[in-house]
Structure 1
Amino acid sequence: MIEFDDVTFAYSGAEPTLRDVSFTVADGDLCVVVGLTGTGKSTLLGLVNGLVPHFTGGRLTGRVRVAGRSTHHERPRDLADLVGYVGQNPLHGFVTDRVEDEIAYGMEQLGLPPATMRKRVEETLDLMNIVALRDRPLADLSGGQQQRVAIASVLAAQPRILVLDEPTSALDPNAAADVLAAITTLVHEVGLTVVLAEHRLERVLHYADTVAWVRTDGTVEYGRPGDVLAGCDVVPPLAELARALRWPGVPTSVRDARRLVQCDAITVSAPPPKALPTAPVGLSVRGLTVDYGRLRAVDGVSLDFAAGTTTGLMGRNGAGKSSLLWAVQGGVPSTGEVDAAGVDPRRLRPADARRAVALVPQTASDLLYLPTVSAELARADAESSAAPGTALGQLRLLGADLPLDADPHDLSEGQRLALVLAIQLTASPSVVCLDEPTRGLDYDMKHRLRDIVAQLVAAGQTVIISTHDVEFAAAATDRLVVMADGEIIADGPTRQVATSSPSFAPQVSKVFAPVPVLTAAEASR
């Protein structure tokens, strides 16, 4: 169905991103594209429908064919009836204002009859479980809801090939499972061919028929998931566990890993529990409430966060996690009390509020608008009344060596996150809030982010992380707070909360359940 024949591609004026790539994705297969950030996964996906090179420019040699049609000779619009594509940022791809209109738009462009369009809209709303969103403005949806609508708008046109770039990055664990289950149903029941790139491999590997590993040199290894991952530089939790326990292959599901544990009679024990510090309190909220018109996003939440600790905020999309962080920072109107090291940031000038609470939003690039990295760093120094070079020093402390003359929007997700975090830390805030910081990060970058969080905690700062990444939360947080419908439904030590819920449990804990271990490092002791 999809054939790469000796493909090499280079962007204008750059070294080749992909080199000598040859493989074939069979009709009805689900292929997962893996690789470190910046190796060319999105470029590989763009070649499937012709976005690369028709939209991006660059030099392509070799041949890419989909269902016998050459992407070199046919533009993306010519392949729209065959290939559906959803990029990393759904909001950038929307062309209407309302959910139902967006789902219908692609079919309108294909000239489908109104009766057919109406039927498919209803079917797709049900398939993606977004019926309740049909009349909602797209701009008012959470990141995860926007992601589901973007996938729905492509599926409604019923393409034979679906290309997805980070399809679950903004979804909570249950929503991600629902979306992937729906896509997998189409693969097995309808014969849809799917190619997707994903950093959270623990979510998708058990669905995959094949894996395409994009190496750092631009070459691609293609094969069965367990075989490719055995030598891959991308190490998801089960691969990390396999290496720790010296298994010859990599299991791709919790079930397979549990069987290996039972076969090898492996026993583990969890570390002894430790009490969470409760003082000194770095941040306190009392009766915090956020309303958007008639929608109550945060409903009278009261919490204390100890200084020198990391708390994870979890819950389904739309539970109120981001609204809680923005309210604490003062970015959205709220009622109730907020005390961050003795001050209420909502009542301070922006420059002073920055010293109390720093917030890195879901899309870090939203805070970047100057033409170069150096300009952004200089602006951070000026706005924080810090000595020149302070922001650059923060960036280097974070372990990021960025080209100072680079355009921030040309950086990778991980590099942009490091830059924004350095800018926010320039003001030496007592509270640091991170909203979905692992979105778009590979496992190596997540390890580095975990080290950065540990540095902040060691310095006595209060860190709050809103995340759907259960693996990162298990390794990086001391405490988990779970929200639903704007309220707190669970609060306790990470080990206790994570291992008591199948939705928020990391893979390793599922493998060794009921023993409450969280990471492969604990299992290897």
Structure 2
Amino acid sequence: MIRFDRVTFTYDGCARPALRDVELTVDEGELCLVAGRTGVGKSTLLGAVNGLVPHFTGGHLQGEVSVDGLATHTLPPQELAHVVGRVGQDPLSGFVTDTVEEELAYTMEQLAIEPKVMRKRVEETLDLLGIADLRHRALRTLSGGQQQRVAIGSVLTAHPRVLVLDEPTSALDPTAAEEVLAAVTRLVHDLGTTVLVAEHRMERVLQYADRLVHVGDDGRVREGSPAALMRDCDVAPPVVRLGRLAGWDPLPLSVRDARRAARALRDRLGDAAPDEPPATGGEAALTARRVRVTYGDTVAVRDVDVVLESGHVTALMGRNGSGKSSLLWALQGSGSRRSGTVSVQGRDPGDVPARVARGLVGLVPQTASDLLYLERVEQECAQADAESGAAPGTCRGLLDALAPGVPADRHPRDLSEGQQLALVLAVQLTSAPGVVLLDEPTRGLDYHAKEAFALLVRRLAAEGRAVVVATHDVEFVARAADRVTVMAEGEVVADGATADIVVSSPAFAPQVAKVLAPGRWLTVEQVDRALAGAAAGEPA
């Protein structure tokens, strides 16, 4: 169905190819997971399948990519729409109509499909994806998971034989992600659709994949069964890393497989307890009382109280649309706040000039590229150093810790999604104030970059800052957070130490917690330290 024949692709102005000598064949009806470090070329590989590479991106393509016998370099993407459907990382930015039903029909209108056929396909797609009750809803009123399913449906109505998904769950809460993946696997199993999906949160997708394609740092590709490649793959979800640590063979690809093999590991751990951060941090760095945020008649945040302690990392969790981002913007001062008070160093960030407010509370928004406005990475870094009064090279050092190897002379908007996010994080953290708010900062980051970012977040806390991370990434929360606050419908429904909140939650528990339940283990690193201590004869 999909064939890469000795494909090498180089972007204009780049010395190194993004893809090098790629030989790959994907059969009909396969779900193929594309994995690799941030910025190695996964999106380039996906873009070559429907002709965005090189028709839209430019650059030099050697070799041939063909889909269902059609060479993609000879046809523009619109001529391949009936064969390949592509859904990007941000579904809302790709919508062109106002309602669900109109969006599902739009692609067919462009393909001049007869109205009777269009109506039939819309109904079939609504039922297939379980969104029939949303047909008349405005797209902007949908949750993230609903938007993602509509985006998939909008390309499915053209009856493509191949579906390309670029990080389809990166912005979704765990429950919404499961809904989207259930819809995707149904397409594979029931309709024989060939699916290519790139996803950094491999723990969500790996168990469903028929094949794994790994893109290396040099642009070369390895492919094979997930179980075989996971033995030495440089990116691996926690359940695989736990299997490697425990010496399990075969390696588990799902929590269910790991639990079946975990009895001996539980016996080895015995009565050992995981090391956990202290329950409290330092003094209150930010105090908010009865914060309410409304948009017209909709209450986004409902009389919420918040106390952020210096030296603490708090994870703000909850399903899409629960009010997390609205609360962060209200705390930062520039967002809408109907009522309530926020105090940082005796001042309300909403009542002082913007320059002063940035010195009290810093916020990194979800859409990182909005904050990039210069022409080269090195200019962004130098500007961040100058504006914050930091030593030259400070911002670049932070960037290298998050995403090593980002070219200094590259235009920021030519970077991958993960590299852009890493750059904005570095820019903002260069002048980090006493309170740092981060809204979905790990989108687009691979496991290594997230680990480096977790260390950076912990370092910020160790320096006495209060850090809040709004995120759906349960594995990052397990690694970085001291405390978890869960929101639902604008209210705080749970608040406490990380282990207290996530271990007992089916939605927010990390993989290690699910495998080793009812213990309070959250990360592979905790297990590793406990086993090392037991081997050395240290008391639990």
Partner of 1:77: 78
Residues in 2 aligned to 1:329 and 1:461: alpha-carbon distance in whole angstroms? 15
Q: SS state of the match for residue 73, structure 2?
A: coil
Is 1:325 equivalent to 2:359 in the alignment? no
CA distance in 2: counterparts of 1:73 and 1:239, whole angstroms: 41
What residue in structure 2 maps to residue 311 of structure 1?
Answer: 314
Decide whether the 8 Å contact of 1:213 with 1:220 is kept in 2. yes
Out of 127-136 and 198-207, give the one that drifted further. Answer: 127-136
- Tell me: CA distance 1:245–1:298, structure 2 relative to 1, closer, same or farther (3 Å): same
2:218 maps to: 217
Q: How has the CA–CA distance of structure 1 residues 190 and 143 changed in structure 2, closer, same or farther, with 3 Å as cutoff?
A: closer
Q: Equivalent pairs: percent with the same residue?
A: 56
8 Å Cα contact 1:432-1:461 kept in structure 2: yes
| Counterpart-to-counterpart distance in 1, 2:427 and 2:438 | 13
Give the gaps of 5 or more residues in structure 2.
Answer: 531-540
* Residues 337/370 of structure 1: CA separation in 2 closer, same or farther (3 Å cut): same
User: Are positions 1:9 and 2:18 aligned together?
Assistant: no
Judge conservation of contact 2:84–2:162 (CA < 8 Å) in 1.
Answer: yes
Q: Distance in 2 between matches of 1:391 and 1:128?
A: 52
Is 1:89–2:90 an aligned residue pair?
Answer: yes
Task: Quote the residue 2:490 is aligned against.
Answer: 486
Q: Extract unaligned runs of 5+ from structure 1.
A: none
CA distance in 1, matches of 2:178, 2:257: 18
Q: Which amino acid aligns with 1:12?
A: D
Partner residue in 1 for 2:538: none
Q: Name the structure 2 match of 1:202.
A: 203
Q: CA RMSD in A?
A: 2.3
Structure 1 contact 312–473 (Cα < 8 Å) conserved: yes
> Residues 61, 145 of structure 1: CA spacing in aligned structure 2 closer, same or farther, 3 A cutoff?
same
Structure 2 residue 191 is the aligned partner of structure 1 residue 190: yes
- The whole-number CA distance in structure 1 between the counterparts of 2:341 and 2:136 is 34
- Which structure 2 residues correspond to residues 464-475 of structure 1 after superposition, within 5 A? 464-475=468-479
Q: How many angstroms apart in 2 are the aligned matches of 1:463 and 1:305? A: 8
**Paired residue for 1:290, among 284, 289, 293?**
293
By how many angstroms is 1:344 displaced?
Answer: 1.0
Confirm whether residue 243 of structure 1 aligns to residue 244 of structure 2. Answer: yes
**Residue equivalent to 2:519:** 515
Kindly indicate whether residue 466 of structure 2 is the aligned counterpart of residue 462 of structure 1. yes
Q: Secondary structure at the match of 1:338?
A: strand
TM superposition score normalised by structure 1? 0.93
Aligned CA distance change for structure 1 residues 351 and 500 (closer, same or farther; 3 Å): same
Q: Which residue of 2 aligns with 1:27?
A: 28
Cα pair distance change 1:415/1:148, threshold 3 Å:
same
1:213 is paired with a residue of what secondary structure? strand
Q: Report Cα offsets for 1:439-479 as digits up to 9, x if no partner.
A: 00000100110011011000110000011111001111011
The answer to which of 166-175 and 330-339 deviates more is 330-339
1:504 match: 508
- How far is 1:60 from its partner? 2.2
Aligned to 1:170: 171
Q: Partners of 2:465 and 2:450 in 1: how far apart?
A: 20
Report the equivalent of 2:148.
147
The residue number in structure 2 matching 1:365 is 369
Q: Where do residues 238-277 of structure 1 align in structure 2 (5 Å cutoff)?
A: 238-262=239-263, 266-268=267-269, 269-271=272-274, 275-277=278-280
**Could you give the per-residue CA deviations for residues 93-126 of structure 1, whole angstroms, max 9, x where no partner exists?**
3333444332221121122233433444344445
1:436 is aligned to 2:437? no
State how many pairs are aligned: 522
CA distance in 1, matches of 2:145, 2:333: 23
Q: 1:403 to 1:34 in 2, by over 3 A?
A: closer
Which amino acid is the alignment partner of residue 173 of structure 1? Answer: P
State how far apart, in whole Å, the 2-side matches of 1:44 and 1:415 are: 17
Deviations 1:301-324 (A, max 9, x none): 112121110011111111111111
- Asked if structure 2 preserves the Cα contact closer than 8 Å seen for 1:398 and 1:452, the reply is no
Worse-matched range after superposition: 131-140 or 449-458:
131-140
CA spacing shift, 1:65–1:512, aligned 2, 3 Å? same
Q: Deviations over 1:187-242 (max 9, x none)?
A: 11111111111100000011100101111122211111010111111121122112
* Matching residue's letter, 2:291: L
Q: How high is the TM-score relative to the length of structure 2?
A: 0.90
Instruction: Provide the rounded CA distance (Å) in 1 between the counterparts of 2:378 and 2:218.
Output: 29
Task: Report the equivalent of 2:429.
Answer: 425
Query: Which deviations, in whole Å up to 9, do the C-alpha atoms of 1:308-354 show, x marking residues without a partner?
Result: 10011111111111111111112321121111232211111110000
- Partners in 1 of 2:275 and 2:439 — Cα distance? 30
